[in-house]
Amino acid sequence: MDPFVAALDAQFHAPGSAAAVYVPASGAPYAVRAILGGKDEEQPLGAGVIIVRVTVIQLLRTQVPEPEQGAFAVLGGVIVDGEVVGGDVYELTGEPMIDVERLSWTIGAEPSDASALP
C-alpha cells in the first residue's frame, strides 16, 4: 500500500476525525469520514486587512470524488431509512482544493441546520 494512502487513512480514523454523511446537491446521501478544521484567511477591510477564521472540512477523494459547493456534510450523522439523522450540519461553500498527492479535498464550510438538507 502507498505510504501516503496508509497515513491519510490512519488520520481519517484517528481522534479529531468523525463519521459523517455527505449529502450531494442532487443524489442520495452516503457515509464518509471527515475532519473538521479551520484556517486563517486575510479579508480586506477598508484600506487594510483583517485575519478571519474560516471553517473547513477535509474529505477523502476515494469517498467523495468531486465535492461540490451547495452540498452538505453532516458530522456525526447517520443514514436511517434514506434520511440523515443527527449530527452537525455544514453547507460546503468554498471552492474544493485537492492536496498535492490528490488524495484528499479541503473545502470551506458554514454551519447550517437539518432543514436546509435536500
Mean pLDDT by 10-residue block, N- to C-terminus, for the chain (118 residues)?
84 95 92 94 90 94 95 92 87 94 95 86
pTM: 0.86
Dist. CA 98–CA 32, nearest whole Å:
17
Q: Which of 48, 117, 39, 107 lies closest to 84 in space, CA to CA?
A: 117
Q: What is the C-alpha separation between 55 and 59, in angstroms, rounded?
A: 13
- All cell numbers assigned to 102: 490528490
CATH number at residue 61: 2.40.10
Quick one: pLDDT at residue 2?
82
The count of structural domains within the chain is 1
User: What pLDDT, on a 0 to 100 scale, did the predictor assign at position 81?
Assistant: 84
Q: Give the structural domain span for 20.
A: 3-116
Q: What is the pLDDT of residue 82?
A: 74
pLDDT at position 113 is 86
3-state DSSP of the chain: CCHHHHHHHHHCCCECEEEEEEECCCCCCEEEEEEEEEEEEEEEECCEEEEEEEEEEEEECCCCCCCCCCCEEEECCEEECCEEECCEEEEECCCCEECCCCCEEEEEEEECCHHHCC
C-alpha triplet 67, 70, 73: angle, nearest 5°: 65
